[in-house]
Amino acid sequence: MWHSRCSKKSSRRTRISAVAKLSHHNIVSVFDVGSEDGTDYIVMELIEGITLKQYLQRKGHLSWEETIFFAEQVARALMHAH
């Protein structure tokens, strides 16, 4: 059980460290990752504005143009990450 938890934490830290190395305007910057008193943490860039979820709640739905715009942004970030 302990080994399983340790390998999961190690794997998670490896993935987070990989994300921290990414530099793209559609991917939030990660400045630091660590663990303090058994609690893992990530220090990330603060982005001003509202989330897509909040935007959708306010607007109700996306037009087809907005849908294409957001889908392109996500696709560009994914392409950069992979």
pLDDT digits (tens, 9 = 90+) for 2-51: 455 556 666 766 776 666 677 767 778 888 888 889 898 888 889 899 99
Spell out where the chain has E strands: 30-36, 39-44
Distance CA 16, CA 80 (A): 16
pLDDT at 32: 82
Residue 43 pairs with which residues in a beta bridge?
Answer: 32
pLDDT band at 59 (very low <50, low <70, confident <90, very high): very high
pLDDT at 8: 64
Which residues, in sequence order, are bridge partners of residue 30? 44
Examine the pLDDT at 68 and tell me if it is beyond 80: yes
In this prediction the pTM is: 0.60
